[in-house]
């Protein structure tokens, strides 16, 4: 399994998360979000990861979606340049990573968020989306060059981030939404396609010997449960309803290394 993680960095949910989305007529239960987040963290712990937590920032309602703030490879971290509404979330994450990681920054004209970065065994894919531009992709390419990892650009037109519609679950297998990407760009041998109406199910997490999926997509979850059983993996269906309402999902809630 690629770059097998031993650590996860998560961030607490600010109270402003609920209020921010209420202004957009999206009703989020803060208590349910907290319990879902706690279960998510416990699942990572049970999978053997050491957990560190960054405190919430009430001025940054989306800061729980910590994945977007940095791209980590081994003991190196590329600090991202984010959507202006979210820019600034990176500072506390960078301070937390400094003792253990070599930090790299990028110029302000470059834009990239971690949700647009997908690693497989031999290749890293970067989504060119509303949140990631060509200069951001070039910075990622330069960042990973020392590790000998090729970077392939993937146009993203039908979702927020690349990993909103495709993730890698090990064993040369992707989970993807049919019709959202040019799948010929990817080098995986196998693709599990999400069922109709369950596009959000494409966002999964593979931690060695564990597969985390979103339980609110039962038809696709059944396919993924069969995959887990075939590969001898522990299967973890998790309810992410209060994060999906904000275009979030499983991978958004942690940084792994």
139: annotated active-site residue: no
Per DSSP, 115 falls in state G
- Residues 117 and 95: their CA atoms lie apart, in Å, by 22
Query: Exactly one of 139, 159, 204, 252 is catalytic; which is it?
Result: 252
- Dmax over CA atoms of the chain, in Å, equals 46
The distance in angstroms from the start CA to the end CA of the chain is 13
| Burial (0-12, 13-18, 19+ Cβ within 10 Å), 249 | buried
Query: Exactly one of 37, 101, 161, 236 is catalytic; which is it?
Result: 161
- Residues 76 and 98: their CA atoms lie apart, in Å, by 10
37: annotated active-site residue: no
Per DSSP, 252 falls in state G
Active-site residue numbers? Answer: 161, 252
């Amino acid at each position: 399994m690629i770059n097998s993680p031993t650590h996860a960095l998560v961030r607490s949910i600010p109270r402003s998360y609920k209020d921010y989305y209420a202004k957009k007529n999206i009703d989020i239960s803060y208590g349910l979000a907290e319990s879902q987040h706690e279960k998510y963290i416990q699942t990572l712990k049970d999978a053997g990861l050491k957990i560190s937590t960054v405190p919430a920032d009430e001025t940054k309602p989306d800061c729980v979606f910590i994945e977007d703030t940095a791209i980590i490879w081994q003991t190196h971290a590329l600090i991202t340049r984010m959507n202006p509404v979210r820019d600034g979330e990176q500072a506390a994450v960078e301070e937390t990573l400094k003792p253990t990681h070599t930090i790299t920054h990028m110029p302000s004209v470059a834009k990239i968020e971690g949700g647009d970065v997908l690693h497989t065994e031999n290749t890293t894919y970067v989504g060119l989306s509303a949140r990631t531009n060509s200069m951001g992709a070039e910075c990622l390419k330069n960042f990973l060059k020392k590790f000998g990892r090729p970077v392939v650009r993937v146009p993203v037109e039908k979702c927020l981030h690349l990993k909103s519609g495709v993730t890698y679950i090990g064993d040369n297998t992707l989970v993807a939404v049919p019709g959202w990407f040019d799948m010929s760009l990817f080098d995986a041998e196998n693709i599990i396609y999400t069922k109709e109406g369950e596009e959000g199910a494409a966002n999964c997490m593979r931690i060695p010997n564990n597969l985390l999926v979103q339980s609110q997509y039962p038809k696709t979850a059944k396919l993924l449960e069969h995959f887990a059983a075939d590969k001898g993996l522990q299967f973890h269906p998790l309810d992410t309803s209060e994060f999906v309402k904000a275009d979030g999902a499983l991978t958004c809630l942690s940084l792994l290394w």
